[in-house]
Amino acid sequence: MPYLSGEETVKELRRALCNPNVHSDPLRHRNAVLRVIRAMSQGVDVSALFSEMVKACATVDIVQKKLIYIFLCSYAAVNPELSLLVINTLRKDCQDPNPMVRSLALRNMTNLRLSSLVEYVEQPLIAGLRDRAACVRRVAVLGWAKLHDLQPDSEIDAAVVNELYSLLRDPDPVVMVNCLRALEGILKEEGGVVINKPITHHLLNRLKECDIWGQCEVLKFLQRYQPQSEDELFDILSLLDASLVSPHPPVMAATVGLFLSLCGSLPAVGLSALRRAQGPLLAACGSGSREMRFTALCHIQLLLRSLPGLLGAHYKRFFCGYAEPAFIKQRKMKVLVELVNDDNVAMLLDEMKGYCTDVNPDTAQAAISAIGHIGRSYSDRSLEILVGLLGLKQDHITSAVVQTMRDLLWVCPQCSSTVCLALEECEDTMQDAQGRQALLWMLGVYGERISSAPYKLEVFIDDVRNETSAGVKLELLTASMRLFLCRPAEMQDMLGRLLHHYIEEETDMCVRDQALLYYRLLHCGKEETEKVLQGRRSDPSLGVLIGPPAESISQWAHSFNTLAPLLQSTFKPDSKPQLSDALRCDPVETSGNCPDKQMDSSTHIQTSSSAAPLSLSVSPALSPEKFERLWLQPRAQHDEHAAEDDCLWIEESIQCPAVFQCSAQSLQASLQLVNVQTLAFTPAHARPWKVYLYTRMQLDSRGSTLILGELVHCEEEPVNEKERTRAPAAAPQEEKTVRVTLRQQPRDDETLKAFLSILTTVLHTHSSSNETLP
């Protein structure tokens, strides 16, 4: 269809519409109208034809009517006066013996969206609610919602609202569902439609009559109902059991959503509902529609957060098909990573290996990093594949592999020997800045074990003028410095050249400053330099806490069956860095998963001034003797003179089952993750179980505050008087309670509370991960 200039078309169409010959022939008349609509849908502005179209409205031909109504609804807003002319025709049509005509007129009357027409519309709408044809009632019910939307300020008559409530008992299920929808809109300010017990049971009984769309809608509304007793709850749940395994994914999803919201207080029931829904969800994952597959995959990811081992046996269902689009493949890999266990790891890695050479570089990269993740628990097998991939000498693959190796090293330092061996043989220069940065980091940190490291750095240093990425420059500086410390003879000349270049010629201030800093640092002598540069090369605590703890359903239940899971594109590598992310207590630790960015203490110097509001640190160190002195000294008088001393004591009980059963080392490691130092602790099963810890906290302007703490758990007998008085009341919970005493000096209530919440989070994370471990 050729595009004509708008004006010409409109003129031409007007001539056709006004032609009396055309008017006399209904077919030709209809054809002329059709051409107007066609022009409209092609984007021509035909609003100038409004009056002609209004005239054409007076016809007995339903098809023509429908076409004209489409036109009128599109252009009524720009021609409110002329639209008044239509209302008579529409009102007449509302009396038509043919229900189809009545519903059509009523629907379009409300679709005009003109507030000036409201007074003419109300009466037909009231009549429409009592119409004997269901299709008219459907339209009339929704008409009231449209009317309310048009005039949100004016109240809809209470009688109408009552009538709508009574229409919930309409024999036609669509009318019933429309009533819910309309009432929800009309009563939005009062919290939407009221779902009480009789309405709930009425809706449940009629659920079967609705089509799948109606069922979904009703199930969504039922989420608002709170059953009055547990018996009633279980009655409802058993009524819904069939929908839970419905072959229609929308119904299944809506039912699961309802189960989750009803069983908020009964997580076990929610979990078993999820287990039952896994079949239909899996079936949706194999649906013919790839969009449906994608949706199901995203929801399975949610499910796995609470039921980590759920679909382990079905891992083959998540193998990627060759023709599947990249976004499905990448989701599937994320699911596969979650499903890995001792039985399937061999098959799974074998399959993943195939994806690493995918034509789509993003998919290949995702596969490689997925293998890296599996490597955290099965490092030997994964590394074997990763090392093999280096042999392919494909630029994007090498880059992804190097980054993956770096991330793996950060968590599992025991892999270092294999990685160093592989790096020794890796000759490639990568185009990708991320990859080069990762390579440099590893060369710097493990330089003493890679014999060819200086020569690899030399390539970079020789090429320093062509380097554009600031990240790579910084990393190169740090790596050269580190390597210089362990292999001075080979590095001295190169480092000199590098520093000279960066100090004299570099335009990036950040890089130049860093170079200057290092230069001055070297003047301070080897020991000082080492102190600054010997950052942590790995984070064993991440390794200790591997195996993500099962989250509770309530963490994600609200986003189930919404668009949120589909939009989540960020790869959550594992849940550990979230811990430090969530706490935001130390900028160094927040980059836990990407050590290239800011992990050495030298960069720490730069960043700590701009740190997050809450910054913990363990330096300067506190000796055990000093701790003891501080801890014991004000204790005698802390009730009376606490305020004078400018120190603050608080005691709190934290519910964390099983924290005291796990090894002290792992607790220490996870506390260190948030920069809390443990000084002393009792063996795991000794009673009372005690841990002493301390940290310093940065106050924005007033220097720092020192926090000392004691964790006590005792099951036999309470240690002090306070505990004894509390014991009878808290007896059943005591098993799971750790009592925390904190002393802060100088006092600052807010930071102390913040610290307590950090501590609580750590203990919770720790104890829940401990529970899931066998």
Partner 1 sequence: MVTALPGDQPPVVMRHKDRYFVHVRQGGLFWVATTTADSSPFTIIEFLNRLSALVKDYCGVLNETNITENFALIYELLDEVLDYGYIQTTSSDILKNFIQTEAVSSKQFNLFDLSNVGLFGADTQQSKVAPSTAATRPIQGSREGGKSEIFVDVIERMSVVIGSNGVLMKADVEGEIRVKCYMPNCSEIRIGLNEEFSIGKSQLRGYGAAVRVDECSFHQAVRLDEFDNHRILRLSPSQGELTVMQYLLSDELPSAPPFRLFPTIERDKGGRLIVYLKLRCDLPPNSLFISPCVFNIVVSLSQELSSPDQRAELRPESRAVVWNIPRFAGGTQLSALFKLDIPDLSSASLLEVGPVSLSFELPKLTATGLQIRFLRLSPIQPSQSQRWVRYVTHSDSYTIRV
For the segment 105-124, give every residue that binds partner 1 (CB under 8 A): 107
Least distance CB 391 / partner 1 (angstroms): 4
Instruction: Answer yes or no whether residue 357 interacts with partner 1 by CB under 8 A.
Output: yes
As a whole number of angstroms, the distance between CA 517 and CA 477 comes to 11
Pick one of 1, 159, 509, 729: the residue that binds partner 1 (CB under 8 A): 1
Written as six digits, the tokens of 332 are 């599937």
Least distance CB 185 / partner 1 (angstroms): 9
Instruction: Answer yes or no whether residue 49 interacts with partner 1 by CB under 8 A.
Output: no
Least distance CB 280 / partner 1 (angstroms): 8
Question: Bridge-partner residues for 617, per DSSP?
Answer: 696
CA 375 to centroid of chain Cα atoms: 24
As a whole number of angstroms, the distance between CA 57 and CA 635 comes to 91
The interface with partner 1 within residues 529-588 (CB under 8 A) comprises 561-567, 569
Give, as one character, the DSSP assignment of residue 678. Answer: E
The interface with partner 1 within residues 286-305 (CB under 8 A) comprises 286, 288-292, 294-296, 298
Angstrom distances, CA of residue 269 to CA of 233, 273, 388: 11, 6, 46
As a whole number of angstroms, the distance between CA 169 and CA 269 comes to 31
Least distance CB 196 / partner 1 (angstroms): 23
C-beta separation of 621 from 721 below 8 A: no
- Residue 540 identity (one-letter amino acid): P
Q: Which is nearer to partner 1, 38 or 512 (CB)?
A: 38
Least distance CB 559 / partner 1 (angstroms): 9
How much helix, strand and coil, in percent to the nearest 5, is found in the chain?
65, 5, 30
Q: Residues binding partner 1: what is the number (CB under 8 A)?
A: 93
Q: What DSSP element (H or E) covers 413?
A: none
Query: Counting every residue, how long is the chain?
Result: 774
What is the radius of gyration, based on Cα positions, of the chain? 35
Q: Is 703 left (phi over 0), alpha (psi -120 to 50) or beta?
A: left
Least distance CB 384 / partner 1 (angstroms): 13
* Cβ atoms within 10 Å, residue 269: 17
Least distance CB 249 / partner 1 (angstroms): 5
- Residue 58 identity (one-letter amino acid): A
The interface with partner 1 within residues 196-255 (CB under 8 A) comprises 211-213, 216-217, 220, 247-250, 252-254
As a whole number of angstroms, the distance between CA 533 and CA 41 comes to 67
Instruction: Answer yes or no whether residue 31 interacts with partner 1 by CB under 8 A.
Output: yes
Least distance CB 52 / partner 1 (angstroms): 15
Token look-up 């409205």 returns: 57
Least distance CB 500 / partner 1 (angstroms): 37
Q: Which is nearer to partner 1, 394 or 469 (CB)?
A: 394
Angstrom distances, CA of residue 265 to CA of 117, 552, 736: 49, 11, 20
For partner 1, which stretch binds (CB under 8 A), given 121-129, 172-180, 504-512, 584-592? 172-180
As a whole number of angstroms, the distance between CA 661 and CA 715 comes to 13
Pick one of 54, 112, 114, 142: the residue that binds partner 1 (CB under 8 A): 142
Least distance CB 135 / partner 1 (angstroms): 8
Alpha helices, H only, 642-747: 664-673, 721-734
For partner 1, which stretch binds (CB under 8 A), given 62-70, 223-231, 489-497, 715-723? 62-70
Pick one of 3, 5, 20, 21: the residue that binds partner 1 (CB under 8 A): 21
Pick one of 35, 501, 638, 726: the residue that binds partner 1 (CB under 8 A): 35
The interface with partner 1 within residues 375-414 (CB under 8 A) comprises 388, 391-394
Pick one of 18, 34, 686, 719: the residue that binds partner 1 (CB under 8 A): 34
The interface with partner 1 within residues 430-489 (CB under 8 A) comprises none
Question: Bridge-partner residues for 695, per DSSP?
Answer: 707
Site track for partner 1 across 313-352, x = CB under 8 A? -x-xx-xxxxxxxxx-------------------x--xx-
Pick one of 6, 19, 96, 546: the residue that binds partner 1 (CB under 8 A): 19
Q: Which is nearer to partner 1, 310 or 503 (CB)?
A: 310
Q: Which is nearer to partner 1, 37 or 464 (CB)?
A: 37
- HSE, side-chain direction, 13 A CA sphere, residue 646: 4
Q: Which is nearer to partner 1, 189 or 644 (CB)?
A: 189
Token look-up 């990393």 returns: 475
Least distance CB 296 / partner 1 (angstroms): 8
* Pick from 170, 298, 733, 768: nearest CA to 559: 298
Least distance CB 388 / partner 1 (angstroms): 7
Instruction: Answer yes or no whether residue 152 interacts with partner 1 by CB under 8 A.
Output: no
C-beta separation of 436 from 472 below 8 A: yes
Instruction: Answer yes or no whether residue 27 interacts with partner 1 by CB under 8 A.
Output: yes
